[in-house]
Chains A and B, each alone.
Chain A
Amino acid sequence: GAGVSQSPSNKVTEKGKDVELRCDPISGHTALYWYRQRLGQGLEFLIYFQGNSAPDKSGLPSDRFSAERTGESVSTLTIQRTQQEDSAVYLCASSLQRYEQYFGPGTRLTVT
């Protein structure tokens, strides 16, 4: 596809369940970012992948959050034992090296 895609677009889950969010970056983009955006807030950096280098996980808020990326393609963000404060829109972006990022449509996560 031409842009960054994310799935699912919406996810409602019960507190304590695990969720997996998927991001398909633009083909050829070596960098991939995950962000969290709470309602009415700015973006909070979570994790950054660059090529085959070790990811920068410094933004992950707790050990319940993890992410993987297969080569320079798909990435999954996993949240274990979800809490209500995890409710937010999770945005994925990809870029060529350090230049401008192209954002996906986001996954709206609601934890009940």
Chain B
Amino acid sequence: ELKVEQNPLFLSMQEGKNYTIYCNYSTTSDRLYWYRQDPGKSLESLFVLLSNGAVKQEGRLMASLDTKARLSTLHITAAVHDLSATYFCAVDISRQFYFGTGTSLTVIP
């Protein structure tokens, strides 16, 4: 059974600090996606990682993919309150998207 695990599930961090969210998956895939979901809202695409070693950055967020380790990371640099949301990773296996459990991030002033 395919598993997509994220950790931590809950993250409370102070503004200005750095942290990394991890996404592990249990089967081979060369496509991984990160999404953001604000409370009561739908999902917003953040990053699409299409190959081993892919790294993408947007503002204070940077995502990377290691397909050999079946691991993706979402690194947060100098967090700000606006980044508070739930972050999901998703793995594309034969056109089905399997989502992680989500990481609920709260940035405290």
Query: Footprint of B on A, CB under 8 Å?
Result: 31, 33, 35, 41-45, 48, 50, 56, 58-59, 91, 93, 98-106
Beyond A99-B48, A100-B33, A106-B42, is A43–B88 a contact (Cβ under 8 Å)?
A: yes
User: Least Cβ distance of B86 to chain A in Å?
Assistant: 9
Binding site for A on B (CB under 8 A): 31, 33, 35, 41-45, 48, 88, 90, 92, 95-102
Residues in chain A near residue B102, CB distance under 8 A = 41-42
Q: Which of chain A's residues has its CB closest to B88's CB? A: A42
Query: A58's closest neighbor in chain B, by CB?
Result: B96
Main secondary structure of the interface of A (DSSP, over half): strand
Docked Cα-Cα span, A106 to B38, in Å, equals: 13
Q: What secondary structure prevails in chain B residues at the interface with A? A: strand
* B7: min CB distance to chain A, Å: 13
Whole-angstrom distance from the CB of A88 to the nearest CB of chain B?
14
Is B43 a contact partner of A91 (Cβ separation < 8 A)?
Answer: yes
A35, A43, A98: the one contacting B95 at CB < 8 Å is: A98
In contact, B42 and A33 (Cβ under 8 angstroms): no
**Chain B residues within an 8 Å CB radius of A59:** 96
- Assembled-state Cα–Cα distance A58/B88 (Å): 22
Interchain CB contact under 8 A, A41 and B97: no
Residues of chain B within 8 A of A41, CB atoms compared: 101-102
Going nearest first, the 4 A-B pairs with the smallest beta carbon separation are: A43-B99, A103-B43, A103-B42, A42-B99
